[in-house]
Amino acid sequence: MATLQEIASQVRRDIVRMVHGAQSGHPGGSLGCADFLTALYFKVMEHDPSFNMEGKNENVFFLSNGHISPVFYSVLARSGYFDIKELATFRKINSRLQGHPATHEHLPGIRVASGSLGQGMSVAIGAALSKK
């Protein structure tokens, strides 16, 4: 099994390939978050790649700053939510992998659209309160 460091290195390669292939995106924030998103998805969080929107009996992650979608997409693909080959479609027409994750694309692992910076905390608090 690959170590967290090896997975994070692969995630960084994915980010560079995705942003370069699209000639669009924000690589800096994604590259800077590769280690902690890798740790969350591959060691810390209890989550199920078979995915259901309710997220019952699992930890749920909410991305607030949607412009770091490349790191989120890579970690989701590498943890089994969708095929890694789909990463090559980042920001292409009709791709589910756009510049900001959106729920209307029905991409497994995405529970809320993220684009309005700063709303992740309020969404996560609302979700936590609704689970009581």
Amino acid occupying residue 96:
R
Q: If you average pLDDT over residues 59-82, what whole number do you get?
A: 95
Q: Report residue 50 CA to chain centroid gap.
A: 15
114-124 per-position pLDDT tens digit: 866 778 888 88
Domain residue limits at 10? 4-130
What's the domain count of the chain? Answer: 1
Query: Which CATH number fits the domain that encloses residue 117?
Result: 3.40.50.970
- How far CA 2 is from CA of 37, 39, 44, 52, 126, in Å, comes to 15, 12, 16, 27, 35
Q: Please tell me which residue, 110 or 117, carries the higher pLDDT value.
A: 110
Q: If you average pLDDT over residues 12-16, what whole number do you get?
A: 98
17-63 per-position pLDDT tens digit: 999 999 998 899 999 999 999 999 999 999 999 999 888 889 999 99
* Neighbour count for residue 88 (Cβ, 10 Å): 14
Whether residue 3 is predicted with pLDDT greater than 90 in this model: the reply is yes
What is the pLDDT, as a whole number, of residue 71? 98
- How far CA 103 is from CA of 16, 45, 83, 109, 112, in Å, comes to 24, 21, 18, 9, 6
Task: Decide: 87 and 20 in contact? Cβ < 8 Å.
Answer: no
